[in-house]
Amino acid sequence: MPDRLLVVGGDAAGMSAASQARRRRSVDQLEIIAFERGNHTSYSACGIPYLVGGLVGELDDLVVRTPEVFRDRFDIDARTGHEVVAIDPDERAVTVRRLDNDSEYRETYDHLVIATGAEPVRPSLPGIDARGIHGVQTLDDAVKVERSLSEGARRAVIVGGGYIGLEMAEAFLLRGLEVTLVEQAPQPMVTLDPEMGALVADALRQMGVKLHLNIAVSGFEEAGGRVSSVVTEEGDIPADVVVLGTGTRPAAGLARESGIPVGETGGIRTDARMRTEIEGVWAAGDCVETFHRISRRAVAIALGTHANKQGRVAGINLGGGYATFPGVVGTAVSKICSVEVARTGLNEGQAEAAGLRFESVVVESTTRAGYYPGAKKMTMKLLAEVGTGRLLGAQIVGEEGAAKRIDVFATALWNEMTVEEIQEMDLSYAPPFSPVWDPVLIAARKAAELNAPARPDDV
Amino acid sequence: MPDRLLVVGGDAAGMSAASQARRRRSVDQLEIIAFERGNHTSYSACGIPYLVGGLVGELDDLVVRTPEVFRDRFDIDARTGHEVVAIDPDERAVTVRRLDNDSEYRETYDHLVIATGAEPVRPSLPGIDARGIHGVQTLDDAVKVERSLSEGARRAVIVGGGYIGLEMAEAFLLRGLEVTLVEQAPQPMVTLDPEMGALVADALRQMGVKLHLNIAVSGFEEAGGRVSSVVTEEGDIPADVVVLGTGTRPAAGLARESGIPVGETGGIRTDARMRTEIEGVWAAGDCVETFHRISRRAVAIALGTHANKQGRVAGINLGGGYATFPGVVGTAVSKICSVEVARTGLNEGQAEAAGLRFESVVVESTTRAGYYPGAKKMTMKLLAEVGTGRLLGAQIVGEEGAAKRIDVFATALWNEMTVEEIQEMDLSYAPPFSPVWDPVLIAARKAAELNAPARPDDV
């Protein structure tokens, strides 16, 4: 009799775990069943804005592997339209509901991987369930947004200016809609510090997005069976389609109800091998919390890369191998029309919360040599620890060629480099790629100068 | 009486040293004179191909600071058309020749910075001094190439397929010339391993460059007072203009003749503070040798970034501060039409020469998510040390968005990371910027898999 692995959630983390386990355990050794309540497995949710915006032609382009591929090529039984509604860790069994006929059945397991992902935060506001108000979390959401557009929506309102919200703003602009962003904070992209967020706000305005900052949404009005406006303390904003970019939280309800420990972040707690505190139960992806290597605290960050890596680690381990997930440094990147935004490490608020003393510099530079055609403006902000000069975080707002430089800072953070060390590095230079001092080096140098102890000759 | 600093060579290294020294020592404390035999100070030689190609409008666009700016804003007396022809370290004096009237004079110094740069290797072949055969080293060379073009050159031959040679090939293509490349090695870009060089060769052919690989040039023929063809062992190649991309060597003749020690690489020897072995004499830029952090050997690498940094270090130190140049990892990047090429660390030949045992992987990926518009092919090669898994080198050939990723590897090399560590890093992901596994991570993972010790369960 082979062991049996059950996977709850058929997207990045779950299916990575399943695939890795299969690589190490043949079908004679391990039976694998994955349950997915939606209609798709293993897809790029990050691609949804580009699908809606028309940059990606087909929904199928976002699907990495279909259930058929998993079955035929990997001997993994991926069951869409199946929702796991209960876990019984003592009996090592789950209860599964078939969404097509609402019937339920039990399956037992030797190993269980919980990969239930994240769920959009849906503020409990009057009218929020009106037609035309969408989260953007699953491919099924994409289909619903598309339906709103095909029904003739002209005015889009984005509630919440995080990555997904702004990427959807781009999508609607590309589709020719009027786009309004309502954000409770004084700036979009609250994971950036205010002066960097202000650059994003300026860019959004230039693209034609109407910004309502510092304004809370109090509800939604309906007309003719669908949303007609977003109600705010400063008046109503007409809307034919609304996207909730109000963030996500780990979808850890099932785990919590089943007695699987969940941390203060709301994410399932695991060790570095992705084991929960319950024997035989693993967890991976947006539903878990992980270790932030700079703040040294638990964080819950919903991101496909982490989900893929964590799923892979879980799959290797439960397949009998050894792997660990070493935590994150909080790297993120996004593009909204011509503006690129990236960050890694801690911003000012996060550094304060972690009890770190820091200094910061903001440096303007260009993506290429100033004289080279297509050189674009970019602004970088660095945070460095007072005294040690250790890099704590970096933020970039710029145009084409700016944002991917964040990976150098992410690598520097990973290695706990000081800004003094960073400024010395041998980074690539040629006029089509950077000024002779790459902006990364300039920013590090400015930060190092701030941090340098006064020397006798400087007095 | 202020001290006196003399600087030999008025480009990146020399003028960085002068500027940094001035920041720390006022004109009352330090008199600064810089001698430059050419007509320009502080310019971007790397920009010459783009000037010739018409991407940069004006020669002046490549000049960072003119002698007037140095005089008026920095109190630095920058004398163009002045060549230092002898150094007398015992007397702390130099002999200067005025090139306008061939007169000579002496200046004494307290500090001397030698920043004589690199000189193109000019093979001693019959006919090499014909009109229309150019090195590409100084802005004055750019003027001469431009003159050849304005005289109606239609057929360009590049001798030597290094960075400068290929960038000039692009320039001539942009100007509508027929372009032929003659390279003695079996591939262009010999700093890449053969399979990566082959990708560059393919790309060059697709651009319309005629490649003659594995062929030595034996001379040049003249007609009507200028070059008419390049003579090779396999026949003559008609040429109206020829560019020598046959590499450079440190211009260390003046130092050597003056008794200032020069290393086996041909570069002036300095310590990390950029002091030569002679009291009061500093050196910086393309004329020095430096420490390669991976091979642990001395190397001479001509590159504007190193020149700027070394000049800055020399200037800080001789101004009374403290700074060191920590060496290089051999990072370089170039773009030829749509092809981006980058490398860092050691290639196979260099790793062998350094006595290192290595394994390598070659990985194909894309610059963006496969479904995102504008995703381009990129190929990465990694070398990792057998046993330890330490990264030894990386090479990238791809299209837009590929090459700057080399900086992540350069940062990883700087920190002596293993490929196993690299694959775990938190690099940025969004569909316009990378697949969900960034190619850097994929390549590191493949290399880590090669390097992983066999585990019982893998057997």
Residue closest to A225 by CA, chosen among A150, A127, A147, A152: A127
Are A380 and A196 in contact by the 8 Å Cβ rule? The answer is: no
Residue B457: pLDDT above 50?
no
Cα separation, A357 vs A424, in Å, equals 24
pLDDT over 50 (residue A426):
yes
Check A372 against B438: CB less than 8 A apart.
Answer: no
**8 A C-beta contact, residue B289 and residue B269:** yes
pLDDT at A458: 42
Beta carbons of A407 and B412 less than 8 Å apart: no
Of A196, A219, A246, which residue sits at a domain end? A246
**DSSP-based three-state secondary structure for B81:** coil
**The two three-digit tokens of residue B38, written as one number:** 């050419």
The whole-angstrom distance between A398's CA and the closest CA on chain B is 14
Asked if B408 and A408 come within 8 Å (Cβ–Cβ), the reply is yes
The answer, yes or no, to whether residue B34 has pLDDT greater than 60, is yes
pLDDT, residue B289, reads 98
Give yes or no for residue A452 having a pLDDT over 90: no
Catalytic residue check, B287: no
Q: Is the pLDDT of residue B319 over 80?
A: yes
Chain centroid offset of residue A7 CA: 21
Cα torsion through B346, B349, B351, B356, rounded to 10: 170
The CA angle A329-A333-A387, to the nearest 5 degrees, is: 40
In chain B, count H helices and then E strands. Answer: 12, 25
Q: Is the pLDDT of residue A140 over 90?
A: no
Residue A325 forms part of a structural domain: no
**How much is the average pLDDT of B91-95?**
98
B453 band by pLDDT with thresholds 50, 70 and 90: low
Residue B9, SS3 per DSSP? coil
Identify the band that residue B451 occupies on the pLDDT scale cut at 50, 70 and 90.
Answer: confident
Mean pLDDT across A382-391: 97
Select the residue of A308, A322, A404 nearest B428 (Cβ to Cβ).
Answer: A404
Task: For residue A226, name the pLDDT band (cuts at 50, 70, 90).
Answer: very high
Same domain, A164 and A180: yes
DSSP letter (8 states) at residue B108 = E
Q: Which of A412, A333, A352, A109 is nearest to B411 (CA)?
A: A412
Q: How many CB atoms lie within 10 A of CB B361?
A: 20
Most A CBs within 10 Å, among B59, B408, B426, to test the A interface: B426
Instruction: Tell me the percentage of chain A whose pLDDT exceeds 70.
Output: 98
Q: Which of A41-45, A181-185, B431-435 has the lowest mean pLDDT?
A: A41-45
Is pLDDT of B51 > 80?
Answer: yes
Q: How far apart are the first and last CA of chain B?
A: 79
Q: How many CB atoms lie within 10 A of CB B276?
A: 23
Domain boundary among A208, A225, A246: A246
- By mean pLDDT, which of A17-21, B242-246, B274-278 is the weakest? B242-246
Compute the CA torsion angle A199, A204, A208, A209 (nearest 10 deg): -130
In a domain, B288, yes or no: yes
Q: pLDDT of A321-332, one tens digit each? A: 999 999 999 999
CA dihedral A381, B424, A111, A97 (to 10 degrees): 40
Q: Helices in A59-193 by DSSP H: which ranges? A: 67-74, 139-150, 163-174
Task: Give me the domain span that covers residue B204.
Answer: 122-246
Say yes or no: B203 and B290 in one domain: no
A12: which chain B residues are within 8 Å (Cβ-Cβ)? 436
What's the total number of domains in chain A? 3
Give the torsion through C-alpha atoms of B273, B278, B282, B286, to 10 deg: -100
Residues A131 and A106 in one domain: no
Six-digit token pair at B55? 């991407």
Rounded CA-CA distance B435/B366 in Å is 7
Q: Give me the pLDDT at residue A453, please.
A: 58
Q: Do A266 and A347 fall within a single domain? A: no
pLDDT tens-digit map of B150-185: 999 999 999 999 999 999 999 999 999 999 999 999
Q: What confidence category does residue B75 fall into, taking pLDDT thresholds of 50, 70 and 90?
A: very high
Confidence of residue B52 (pLDDT cuts 50, 70, 90): very high
Amino acid identity, position A391: L
- Do both A253 and A108 map to the same domain? yes
SS3 track for B234-262:
CEEEECCEEEECCCEEECCHHHHHCCCCE
Q: Do A332 and B428 touch (CB under 8 A)?
A: yes
Enter the DSSP assignment of A377.
E
H helix or E strand, kind and range, residue B171 = helix B163-174
| One domain for residues B238 and B200 | yes
- For the cut 60, the answer to whether the pLDDT of residue A339 exceeds it is yes
- Write the residue in B56, B319, B436 that is nearest to A305 by C-beta: B436
Tell whether B298 is covered by a domain: yes
C-beta atoms of B373 and A332 within 8 A: no
CB contact under 8 A, A404 and B433: yes
In a domain, A390, yes or no: yes
Same domain, A106 and A129: no
- Asked whether residue A219 is domain-assigned, the answer is yes
Q: Are B2 and B28 in contact (CB under 8 A)?
A: yes
Selected for mutation to probe chain B from A310, A407, A417 (highest B CB count within 10 Å) is A407
Report if residue A323 sits inside a domain: no
Query: What is the mean pLDDT of the segment spanning B266-285?
Result: 98
A51-60, A78-87, B99-108, B342-351: the lowest-pLDDT one: A51-60
> What was the pLDDT predicted at A459?
35
pLDDT at B358 > cutoff 50? yes
Confidence check on the interface: ipTM exceeds 0.90, yes or no? yes
Residue B458 has pLDDT above 80, yes or no: no
Nearest-CA residue of chain B relative to A420? Answer: B323
For the residues B394-419, what does the mean pLDDT come to? 97
Choice among A24, A44, A46, A80 that is catalytic: A46
* pLDDT higher than 90, residue A1: no
- The CATH number covering residue A451 comes to 3.50.50.60
Contact: B414, A430; criterion CB under 8 Å: no
CA distance A432 to chain B (A): 7
Task: For residue B327, tell me if it sits in a domain.
Answer: no
Residue B43 has a pLDDT of 87
The predicted structure's pLDDT at residue B44: 87
- The whole-angstrom distance between B343's CA and the closest CA on chain A is 9
Read off the pLDDT of each residue in B308-333 and give the average, rounded to a whole number.
97
Q: Residue A13, SS3? A: helix
Mutate to test the interface with B, among A426, A442, A457 (most CBs of B within 10 A): A426
C-alpha distances (whole Å) from A323 to each of A307, A350, B2, B423 are 15, 29, 64, 12
Of B267, B294, B318, the residue at which a domain comes to its end is B318
The span from the CA of A297 to the CA of A289, in Å, is 10
A278 and A360 together in one domain = no
Question: Of B340, B334, B418, B314, which is closest to residue B20 (Cα–Cα)?
Answer: B314
B368-403 pLDDT, tens digit each? 999 999 999 999 999 999 999 999 999 999 999 999
Mean pLDDT of A406-419: 98
Among B167, B368, B160, which Cα is nearest to B245's?
B160
- What strand order describes the sheet that includes A3-8? A76-80, A30-36, A3-8, A111-114, A281-283
Closest chain A C-alpha to B286 CA, distance in angstroms: 14
Alpha-carbon span A177 to A157, nearest angstrom: 10
Please give the Cα distance from A155 to A132 (Å, whole number): 11
**Chain B residues with CB inside 8 Å of A444's CB?**
none
Question: Which strands make up the sheet holding A226-232, listed edge to edge?
Answer: A217-223, A226-232, A235-238
Residues B313 and B354 reside in one and the same domain? no
| Residue B262 confidence (pLDDT) above 90 | yes
The helices-and-strands tally (H runs, E runs) of chain A is 12, 25
Check whether residue A16 and residue A32 sit in a common domain. yes
Q: What is the pLDDT of residue B124?
A: 93
Interchain proximity A407–B306, CB inside 8 Å? no
Of the listed ranges A141-155, A322-336, A440-454, the least confidently predicted one is A440-454
CA-based nearest residue to A275, from A236, A312, A247, A317: A317
Among the options B46, B99, B185, B354, which is catalytic? B46
Question: Are residues B132 and B66 located together in one domain of the fold?
Answer: no
User: Is residue B78 situated within a structural domain?
Assistant: yes
Check residue A25 and report its DSSP letter. Answer: S
Q: Do A457 and B320 touch (CB under 8 A)?
A: yes
| Mean pLDDT for the stretch of residues A34-54 | 92
Task: Please tell me which of the candidates B44, B432, B455 has its beta carbon nearest to residue A335.
Answer: B432
Does residue A114 sit in the same domain as residue A127? no
| Among A411, A438, A446, A457, the residue to mutate for chain B (most B Cβ within 10 A) | A411
Residue among B410, B429, B455 whose CB faces A428 most closely: B410
What DSSP letter does each residue of A330-373 carry, written as one string? --EEEEETTEEEEEEE--HHHHHHTT--EEEEEEEEESS-TTST
